[in-house]
Amino acid sequence: MATAAPESILLAEAKVSADSSGKRDLNLAAGATIAIAVITLLLAAIWGPSLSNGLNPSETQESLQGDQVYFTWNEPEYMPRHEECIDPDNGQDAGYEGYGIGYEPSLSIDSQGNLFVTAHKDLRWGGEGNPFAPVIGGNLDTWYACEDGEMTSWDYWASWFWISNDNGETWSHGDNFNPTPGNLGNSLVGTGTGAGSECLGDEGDIAVDANDIVYYLDTTLEDNWWHMFEDGGNTYMSPVVCERMQTMAADDRPWVAAQGDGIIHYLGNSGASPPECSGDVGRYWYYHSESGRAPFSQCYAMPGGWSTISSQNNGPYVFVAQEDADSDSGTVQVRISDDYGRGTGPSPSDGTWQEPVAVGPREGNCPEGYPVVNNNEGGMVVVTWADCPNGNTGAWEMRIAVSYDNGTSWESWNATAFDRGINMYPFVSITEDQVVSVAFYGLDFDQKNSEDGYVAGKDWYLYAGALHHPMKGDVWDFRIIDPTPLHTVTAYEESSGDTHALHDFFETVMSPDGTWIGIAYQENIGLHPFEENEEQRYIKFIRGDMAMQHSIVSESKNSSMDMPAFSIKELILAARS
């Protein structure tokens, strides 16, 4: 069936390259290539959006239902190390010594567009040995940070804390997060007398309230440290360094949300019921503060499986998305408070939290597949989650649930990116204009015209797509946005069914004015010097800007290819059919 011409025409933006002065020169092809580009534009007008979507032009426009939004993607950036801590002999691959080793990045943004990233430290890279060698293996030794003669990738003792004050163009470390050389004993002393960077941390999360106060929580597993910043992360404002949260539970993955004037929500993953809270049971426990710091309410359980939390910045709503249980199948549910999560302490109490609402099914048990919730100020709430009905290494699915009335009513549908493949750890961000972006780590089984499944040699990539005001049945036109593979499946991973190389999650944000998206994510590079079947892990950031046109360009100025290739730096607005 022929496809009607689209309401928007595919336009051209020339491929550009930077000269030594930082200016951009147009890189135009020869006359013959220009002619081909014109012909291709005419074909685009006939075939509609299917040409740029990688779909068969004979397919109807209904196969790409929804108001698509595309971005022009900048060059990715690696997160930096302090210059004085760079060590070419510490086991990092040549050319990467200046970049921080880490994984599972959290990303937040304030109302001025300042960005904040934290990431899990590689604990095995605190030196060639470790203090837990009798349990986890290796040589018995203390950990080290930024220490001459030790193969450390640590600049300081806390988890990583990077800031950008130019919308992601450049990155540095936050105030009071300077290098802290020495062994583990230095950290123990510095916890009471030193800088925020001396508070030994494992992994953290970041939130920003309506006053642009930044709250950085860094877990010690036994408890949590809090760090507070203002001025885009350039002013450390905690009353003391290494301020303890004083929670009742040992925590693993922390989740933090903030709103209003110092209202803080902490969702702790204890994995079991703390003995101090024997009046209730659960894996996840909710803690509430309205002073921006301790004391927090205690012992409010939110029974269920993997969970995340989000809140309005100015409004009163708070949302928790979670698996209904630690089980192979079931539902994804959302808990809602319309009064800042109040009334949940100091003893077990439902307070203002409503009964959980089921928003969609789970037909498998993906490895650590957090359902992710996000919201805007206008009543829109979106939850996305990966589903594994065919097992860990079979074809995965991805589901979306959307509410436009603060969770009163929901629509849910299957938004899977591939016919056969894995869409892991999807993350969602929303603008006030109801543009919904979804990004994920993806492995397409059909890449390179392959007909097999999860086998060695397949590449993982970062994918993203966006829709304006999505409705049930709409299809995100997901694209690879970083052409560098994030990881290649190894023979060990194929034989063991291990799909965990990129770890548990990553995060995205939309800019305050809704014109660009930022993504913090992980890339694996080279073999790990201390861990068998593991790689070096690096944190990257990429920014995508909305624009009104995109390009059809040849690969290079002297390209002899018969047809031009599409740049991944694109934006198309396709009309809803």
What pLDDT was estimated at residue 30? 33
∠ CA 426-430-435, nearest 5°, is 105
Question: Exposure pattern of 97-133 as b/e (b: 16+ CB <10 Å)?
Answer: bebbbbbbbbbbbbeebbbbbbbbbbebbbbbbbbee
Beta-carbon count within 10 A of 252 CB: 14
Tell me which DSSP letter residue 502 carries. T
∠ CA 520-523-529, nearest 5°, is 130
pLDDT (tens digit, 0 to 9) for every residue of the chain, 577 residues total?
A: 333 322 222 222 333 333 333 333 333 333 333 333 333 333 333 233 322 333 332 333 345 789 999 999 999 999 999 999 999 999 999 999 999 999 999 999 999 999 999 999 999 999 988 898 888 788 899 999 999 999 999 999 999 999 999 999 999 999 999 999 999 988 888 888 889 999 999 899 999 999 999 999 999 878 899 999 999 999 999 999 989 988 877 778 889 999 999 999 999 888 777 777 767 777 888 999 999 999 998 888 898 999 999 999 999 999 999 999 989 899 999 999 999 999 876 555 778 999 999 999 999 988 878 999 999 999 999 999 999 999 999 999 999 999 999 999 999 999 999 999 999 999 999 999 999 999 999 999 999 899 999 999 999 999 999 999 999 999 999 999 999 999 999 999 999 999 999 999 999 999 999 999 999 999 999 999 988 899 999 999 999 999 653 322 223 333 332 323 233 344 333 333 3
What pLDDT was estimated at residue 35? 35
DSSP per position, 150-200: S-B--SSSSPEEEEESSTTSS-EEPTT-----EEHHHHHHHHHHS-GGGS-
Identity (one letter) of the amino acid at 345? G
Question: Where do we find the tokens 């099914």?
Answer: 361
CA–CA gap between residue 414 and residue 384 (Å, rounded): 10
- Residues with Cβ < 8 Å from 307, sequence gap 6 or more? 255, 267, 269, 283, 284, 320, 321, 322, 323, 370, 371
CA–CA gap between residue 215 and residue 201 (Å, rounded): 15
**Over 52-106, what HEC string results?**
CCCCCCCCCHHHHCCEEECEEECCCEECECCHHHCCCCCCCCCCCCCECEEEEEE
> Do residues 301 and 284 make contact, with C-beta atoms less than 8 angstroms apart?
yes
> Do residues 46 and 77 make contact, with C-beta atoms less than 8 angstroms apart?
no
Q: How many CA atoms lie within 13 A of 100 on its CB side?
A: 33
CA–CA gap between residue 32 and residue 38 (Å, rounded): 10
DSSP per position, 286-325: EEEESSSSS-----EEE-SSSEEEEE-SSSS-EEEEEESS
CA torsion, points 341, 196, 519, 319, in degrees to nearest 10?
Answer: -10
Strand partners of residue 172 = 163
CA–CA gap between residue 161 and residue 116 (Å, rounded): 7
Question: Where do we find the tokens 């909305």?
Answer: 546
Rg from Cα positions in the chain = 24
Q: How far apart are the first and last CA of the chain?
A: 15
∠ CA 393-268-277, nearest 5°, is 120
Q: How many CA atoms lie within 13 A of 209 on its CB side?
A: 22
Helices (H) and strands (E) in the chain, counts: 4, 40
CA–CA gap between residue 510 and residue 439 (Å, rounded): 12
What pLDDT was estimated at residue 63? 57
Residues in the chain: 577
CA torsion, points 177, 180, 185, 191, in degrees to nearest 10?
Answer: -20
Question: Where do we find the tokens 């230095």?
Answer: 186
Beta-carbon count within 10 A of 494 CB: 16
What pLDDT was estimated at residue 266? 94
What pLDDT was estimated at residue 345? 62
Domain ranges of the chain: 1-64+550-577, 65-198+293-546
CA–CA gap between residue 438 and residue 80 (Å, rounded): 26
- Residues with Cβ < 8 Å from 150, sequence gap 6 or more? 127, 128, 144
CA–CA gap between residue 439 and residue 425 (Å, rounded): 8
CA–CA gap between residue 282 and residue 502 (Å, rounded): 28
Cα 536 to Cα 142, 210, 443, 556: the distances in Å are 21, 37, 20, 32
> Do residues 225 and 244 make contact, with C-beta atoms less than 8 angstroms apart?
yes
